[in-house]
């Protein structure tokens, strides 16, 4: 009998029902994901799209331990300083 560790990659399965877009506005936004190797992955979304779900729909392996319920901090975004003044003030729900 052979002893040791067997690593298995079961993959990740995500399901989308397109209910994550809360905005009726169809304005397109450009999002660039940067993976662990520094590769830039451009993705188009809509205003109001859930960024975690958008990543999953585009084959980007991004962890969301609380499944996008805003209960943890495993998925988050960095916003360039030049864009801070262009964004509305965060409301308590998102802080």
Sign of CA dihedral 75, 55, 21, 89: positive
Give the predicted TM-score (pTM) of the model. 0.58
Give the pLDDT confidence score for residue 59 in this predicted structure.
Answer: 92
Pick the CATH number of 28-94 from 3.30.70.20, 3.30.450.70, 3.10.20.30, 3.30.360.10: 3.10.20.30
Containing 42, the helix (H) or strand (E) segment is: strand 40-46
pLDDT, one tens digit per residue, over 39-95 is: 999 999 998 888 899 999 999 988 888 888 878 878 777 788 888 888 888 776 655
Cα separation, 48 vs 25, whole angstroms: 8
> What is the predicted pLDDT for the residue at 21?
47
Q: For residue range 23-48, what is the model confidence (pLDDT) as tens digits? A: 455 689 999 998 889 999 999 999 88
């Amino acid at each position: 009998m052979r002893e040791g560790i067997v690593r298995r990659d079961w993959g990740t399965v995500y399901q989308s029902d397109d209910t994550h877009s809360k905005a009726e506005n169809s304005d397109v936004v450009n999002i660039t994901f940067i993976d662990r190797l520094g590769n830039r992955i451009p993705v188009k979304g809509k205003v109001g799209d859930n960024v975690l779900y958008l990543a999953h729909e585009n084959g980007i392996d991004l962890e969301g331990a609380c499944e996008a319920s805003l209960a943890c901090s495993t998925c988050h975004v960095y916003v360039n300083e030049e864009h801070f003044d262009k964004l509305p003030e965060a409301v308590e729900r998102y802080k």
